[in-house]
Structure 1
Amino acid sequence: MATQLDLQEQEQLDELKAFWNKYGNLITWVLVLALGAYAAWTGWNYWQRNQGTKAAAMFDALDSAARSGDAARVTQVFGDLKSNYPRTAYAGQGGLLAAQAQYGKGQADEAAATLGWVADNASEDEYRTVARLRLAGILLDKKQYDDALRQLDGAKAAGFEALVADRRGDVLMAQGKKDEAKAAYQTAWKDMDSKLEYRQLVEAKLTALGAAPAASEVAK
C-alpha cells in the first residue's frame, strides 16, 4: 500500500514539475506585474496623501499671511506651494488667494502673473476659469483688451457661462463695440439665476444701452 501511495505522489510531483516547467515563468511574471502594480498603487496613494497634507499646511500659512496683509510673505509662500505641490488643489486655491492679496496691496502685475499661473496650471477647471475671469478684469483695467478676450475664450468651466459673458460685455464696451457688448450682456442676463443680486447689475448695463429686459422677463 505504501508503495502504491509513493508512486501516486511521485506521479503528482512529476505532473507538477512538468506544469511548472511549462508555465512557471509566465506565472512568475504575472505575479511580479500584479504585485508591482499593487505596490505602485499603494505608494501613489501614500504619496498623494503625503503631498496633500504638506500642501494643506502650506496653504494655511498662505492664508494666515493674506489675513495679516503681508503681501511679501504671501508671494513667498505661494512660490513654494506652486513649486513643490503644483498638482494639488491647494496650489490653485492658494494662487487665487495670493492674487487677491497682491491686488489688494496695489501689486497688479504680481497678481496678474499669479492668476496666469493658476489659469495655466491649476488642477481644477473651476479654479482655472475663476483665474481667467479675474485676470481678464486686470487686463481690462490695463486696456489690454485683446488679451482679456483671449483669457475669457479659455474660461470654460460649467456654471460660469453667465459671468464670462458679463465680463466679455465689459471688455467689448471698453472697445466701443456696443452692439456686441449688448449681445454679451443679454446672454449673461438670460443665463444667470434670477435670484442672484448680481443679475440686477447686468440688467442695469442693458438698460444703459437701451436694451432693458421686458418687465414680463424680469418677473420670471
Structure 2
Amino acid sequence: MPLDLEEQEQIDQLKAFWQKYRNLITGVVTAVLFAYAAYSGYQWWRTSQAAAASQLYETMVTAINKGDKDQTLRAADDLQKQFSGTPYAAMSSLVAAKIASDAGDSEKAMAYLRWAAKNASDQSYVAIAKLRLVAQLIEQGAEKDFAEADAILKEKPVTGFEALWLERRGDWYLAQKNTADARKSYEAAWVQLNQAKEFPEEARRLLKVKLDAVGGVAQ
C-alpha cells in the first residue's frame, strides 16, 4: 500500500534523525546494557561471597566449640584475606581478638581489633573494635599505648556509641590517676547512657561501679 505524503515525510525525518544520532544512541544503549550486566554480575558475586564466607564462619564456630584455638584463628585469618568485604570477616576478627586476649596474646588480639576497626563495613563493628582496642591499650599501659588510645578517642564517636566513648575516656584518665577528669567523663557518660535505653542494664551497672570508685554521684 503506497504511503501518503505525511507518512513518507515522517519516515524521512526518522531516517535523518537516525543518521545523525545513531552513534550516540547505540553508545547509550550499549552503556546501559553493560551497566546492567555489571550490576547483575556484582549481585551474583556478593551472594557468592556471602555464601562462601558464611561456610568459613561456620567452620570457625565449630572450631570454637571444639576449643581449637589454632583452627579458630586460621579461619579468622582466612576470612580477612578472602572475604574482607563481608560482615563475617569483621565478626570473626572480633571473636578471634577475644580468644587471643583470653590466651594471653594481647598483641595478636590488638592486631585483630585494628583490622576490624579499619576494614569493617558495619559501623557497629567498627565501634566495638575501637572501644575494645582502647581497653586493651589502656591495659597495656605503656606511653605509646596511651597515645594510640588517645588518638582513637579523639575521633568522632560512631553514632549511638557516644556514651561508651565517654566511658572509655574516663578509663583512659583513671589509668593515668587523673581522677577528677575521669569522674567528669563518667558523669557525662552516665547522662548519655540513661538517654540511650537500647543499652543493657549491665552497662549502667558497670558504669555506676566506676562512678562510685571516683566519688561521682549517679542518680
3-state secondary structure, aligned to 1:123: coil
Larger Rg: 1
Q: Per-residue displacement from partner, 1:2-32 (whole Å, max 9, x unpaired)?
A: 5xx1686876665443332122112111111
The TM-score normalised by the length of structure 2 is 0.86
- Superposed CA RMSD in Å reads 2.2
Moved more, 140-149 or 86-95: 140-149
Deviation at 1:153, TM superposition (A): 2.9
Q: Distance in 2 between matches of 1:118 and 1:186?
A: 29
8 Å Cα contact 1:129/1:155 also seen in 2: no
Corresponding position of 1:60: 58
Residue in structure 2 matched with residue 151 of structure 1 by the alignment: 152
| AA at the equivalent of 2:211 | L
- How far residue 70 of structure 1 moved from its aligned partner, in angstroms, is 1.7
Distance 1:90 1:36 in 2: 30
> Match of 2:113?
115
Quickly say closer, same or farther: Cα 1:151–1:66, change in 2 above 3 A: farther
- In the alignment, structure 1 residue 135 sits paired with structure 2 residue 136: no
Unaligned runs of 5+ in 1: none
User: 1:48: Cα distance to partner?
Assistant: 1.0
Q: Structure 2 CA distance, aligned partners of 1:155 and 1:121?
A: 17
Question: Secondary structure, in 3 states, of the residue corresponding to 2:47?
Answer: helix
Identity %, equivalent residues: 36
Equivalents in 2 of 1:197, 1:120: separation in Å? Answer: 28
How many pairs are equivalent? Answer: 211
Task: Give the Cα separation in 1 of the matches to 2:91 and 2:13.
Answer: 63
Stretch of structure 1 that moved more, 203-212 or 158-167: 203-212
Q: Which runs of 4+ in 1 moved over 3 A?
A: 6-17
Q: Provide the rounded CA distance (Å) in 2 between the counterparts of 1:37 and 1:198.
A: 48
1:111-150: CA deviations, max 9, x gaps? Answer: 1111010011111111111011111111111102222222
Task: Give the TM-score normalised by structure 1.
Answer: 0.86
Q: Per-residue displacement from partner, 1:13-63 (whole Å, max 9, x unpaired)?
A: 654433321221121111111111111111111111111111111111122
Q: Which residue of 1 aligns with 2:216?
A: 211
Partner residue of 1:96 out of 94, 97, 119: 94
